[in-house]
Structure 1
Amino acid sequence: MAVTVISFLCIVALLPFSGLGRRDDHSGDLKQMYIKMTVTNKFANMDISYPTFVSKGIPLFGVLNHLQDTNKNFSFTYRINKSLGIYLESVNGLAGSAVNHTYWELLSKKQNHITRLNVALLPFPGLGRRDDHSGDLKQMYIKMTITNKFANMDISYPTFVSKGIPMFGVLNHLRITTKTSVKKGPFPITVTVTNKFANTAVNYPTTVTTGMPMFGVLNKLKNTTNNFNFTYSIDKSYGIFLESVNGLAGSTVNKTYWELLTKKGKKITRLNVAKKGEKAQIPDSITVTVINKFTNSMVSYPANVTTGMPIFGVLNKLKDANSNFTFTYSVDKSYGIFLESVNGLAGSTVNKTYWELLTKHHGKTTRLNVGIGCYQPSKNEIFIMNFTTWA
C-alpha cells in the first residue's frame, strides 16, 4: 500500500547512517557531504559551530543525533507532536519558553543566503511566538489515497489541512477524524440492479469501509465501472434521493421508483427510507440540542420527524421555521451530506474543532458513526450537535 511505503521510507531515513557503526555500512554506498551545524544564542551573543559529514538523504533529525553521539559538547531534546512531527525542544540544555516567548528558529545558509526553514520543527501555536496566529494558516484541500495493487483496491480520504503541516500530521488528523470509517474493512459487497418489468438483474461486486454510506459506494462504482451510472438530487426533507440508475428514472406518472433493499444470507429487507412524494405520516416529537463546550452554552429546539426522515430533513425544517437556527452542509462523494456549520459556527482543522453528532435516548448518550444525511431519529429522542475538539 502506498502509505506503508511512505512509512518505510521514513523508517529507513532514521536508521543509522555511514559512520555510526553499522557493521554492514559501506561509506561508498551513500554520497557524503560536508556541512556545518551552528548553534546561535542572540541573547548571549554566542555562536558555536560543529563541522561534520553527512550522507545525502539523511534528515536533520539524523544529523543532530549523529552530533549528539559523536560530540560530548552537543546535545538536544525533542518530542513527537501529532500534527507537526518531530519538534525541537532544547539545544545544549537550553529550551524555548512560552513564558519568555523564546524558541529555536531553524535557518539554512547557502552561499551567504540565509533562509528560514518552513518545516515541521518550526514553532507551532501555543509555544509562545508573538507572531503566531492559528487563523493565519491557509487551508488546502487534499485527498489521501491508499492503494493495494494486489487487492486491486483504492480508498480515498478527502480532508483539509493547513499549509506547512507535514504528512505525519495529516495522517494523525485522518486517523482521529475518520476512525469510524477506517476501523474495519474494506469488505466485499455486491450492488444488484433489478428491473422487474424487464426481468433483468445486473451485479456489481465492490468493497466498502465501515462508516461509508451507500451514496459513497455508488459513486465509487460510477467512477470505476463503465457500465454503471446513477443520478441523484438533494431533497430538503429526505436528503440524497436516488433519481435514476443506468439511465432509467422513476416516474410519478407511471408510479415507478427505485426501491432499496438489502439481502443478508437469504433474508431480504426493505430499507426504512422514504419514497419521494409519498404521503407524510403522523410526526413524532424530538429535540435538537446545540452545545458549544468552549462557551459552555446549550440551546434546544423542539422538532418533529416522520418515519424515514433523516436528521438532515429535521434540520431543514428547523431552519425554515426558526429564524434563530441555521446550518450549512456540503456533499462529499464518499460520505454524503457533511455538516459544516451550525448557527454560523464552523469546524476548523487549524483549531482542531468539529461538530460531534450524538443521540440521547432513555438517558443514554451515544456517539453517532453516520452523518446527518443517513441518521434517522426516533420518537422522544434528543439529537445533539456538540461543538468540540479532537485534540
Structure 2
Amino acid sequence: CRIQRGPYRCHEKTAGFNFNYTDDPNYGPFLVSVNGVAGNNTELTFWELLVQTGGNGTIIRPDVGIGCYIPEPNDRIILKFTEFVSGSHSVSGNSSNPGNLTAGNTSRLDSIELVVVNNISNTTNKTYSTDIAFRGVLIGAMRRLQTNSGFNFTYTDDPNYGPFLVSVNGVAGNNTEKTFWELLVQTGGNGTTIRPDVGIGCYIPKQNDRIILNFTKFTTNSASGSCTNPGVLLFLVGLFFCFLI
C-alpha cells in the first residue's frame, strides 16, 4: 500500500484486501473488521496494530491506532487478530475496541483548559474549561465543549491527513492571507508551551493541559503537524507537509 506522509489510511485498492472502521467521538477511528473478520466484544477479540520498523526490523506496538499512526518508509504494517488479555495489551490507541482501549476507564474524565487566541484582529482571548475522556483525542473534547458553551468550530476531514481545523468561533483561515489556526499546548506539569507534531484529530491531552488555538499567519517556522490548513502549505511549499489525524 502506498501512502503519503499521513496517518495509516490505505486508499489504494489492493486485490483481496478490505476493511471497515467506526469513528468513536472520543478516540477516533477503530478498526472493526479486516477481510470480513470482525472483532467481538463477548469473545474479547480485536484487531491489533503492530509495526515492523523498516530500519532494523523491530516490531513495535504503537500507542495510537490506524487514524493517527504515521508510517515511515519501508515500515511493515501488521494487523493482527487477537484476544484482549489484561496486562498483555497496553492501554493504547492500537486496539480496535474502545472498551479494550480504555481498560475499564470509560467513565474517567480529565480536566483541560482551552484558550482561543486571535492577535491578528486584536481580540480578547477566550478561555474555556472542559473534560476529555481518558486517553481521548483533542477533537473529542472540542466536540463536548461545543455542545454547552459559546465555543464552536468547524473542520474538514482530509482523506490522507485527517481533520483540519477550518474555523473557530466563526473565524476561518484564509489561503490568500496565509492565515490558519495553529495548535499549541501549555503542558500542565511545568508550563512549557509546545507545538505538537500532530493536530486536533490525534493530539491526546494530559490532565491540566492548556490547549491554545492560535490564529496566526503561516511562516516557514509554523510548518508542522500543528498546522490546520492544508491549502496554506500547498500554496507555500507545493506539497502536503502538515501531517495531522
Letter in 2 for 1:387: F
Counterpart residue number, 1:346? 172
Counterpart residue number, 2:222? none
Report the TM-score, using the length of structure 1 for normalisation: 0.42
Counterpart residue number, 1:144? none
**Equivalent residue in structure 2 for 1:283, among 99, 106, 109:** 109
Cα pair 1:263 1:269 within 8 Å, conserved: no
1:307 matched to 2:101? The reply is: no
Q: How large is the Cα RMSD of the aligned pairs?
A: 2.4
Counterpart residue number, 2:184? 358
Counterpart residue number, 1:257? 46
Aligned-residue offset at 1:377: 0.9
Aligned-residue offset at 1:343: 1.4
1:326 matched to 2:139? The reply is: no
Cα pair 1:288 1:301 within 8 Å, conserved: yes
Show the 5 A alignment for 1:120-135.
Answer: none
d(CA) in 2 for partners of 1:331, 1:242: 18
Cα pair 1:213 1:374 within 8 Å, conserved: no
- How many residue pairs match? The answer is 179
Q: Which runs of 5+ in 1 are unaligned?
A: 1-203
Letter in 1 for 2:218: W
d(CA) in 2 for partners of 1:259, 1:352: 40
**Equivalent residue in structure 1 for 2:25, among 236, 239, 251:** 236
Counterpart residue number, 2:214? 386
Counterpart residue number, 1:192? none
Show the 5 A alignment for 1:183-262.
Answer: 206=2, 208-209=4-5, 212-214=6-8, 218-219=9-10, 222-262=11-51
d(CA) in 2 for partners of 1:374, 1:341: 18
Aligned-residue offset at 1:387: 0.9
Give a deviation string over 1:279-300, Cα, whole Å, max 9, x none.
4153222111111112332111
Aligned-residue offset at 1:258: 2.0
Which of the two has greater strand per residue? Answer: 1
Give a deviation string over 1:236-281, Cα, whole Å, max 9, x none.
2122332322233333344332223344443533522263245415
Cα pair 2:50 2:59 within 8 Å, conserved: no
d(CA) in 2 for partners of 1:333, 1:309: 21
Structure showing greater radius of gyration is 1
Show the 5 A alignment for 1:136-147.
Answer: none
Aligned-residue offset at 1:224: 4.5
Letter in 1 for 2:181: W
Cα pair 1:290 1:298 within 8 Å, conserved: yes
Q: Secondary structure at the match of 2:163?
A: strand
Task: Name the structure, 1 or 2, with higher relative contact order (CA <8 Å, separation 6+).
Answer: 2
Show the 5 A alignment for 1:67-216.
Answer: 206=2, 208-209=4-5, 212-214=6-8
Q: Secondary structure at the match of 1:294?
A: coil
Q: Do the aligned partners of residues 288 and 262 (structure 1) sit closer, same or farther apart at CA in structure 2, a change above 3 Å counting?
A: farther
Q: Do the aligned partners of residues 356 and 270 (structure 1) sit closer, same or farther apart at CA in structure 2, a change above 3 Å counting?
A: closer
Cα pair 1:237 1:317 within 8 Å, conserved: no
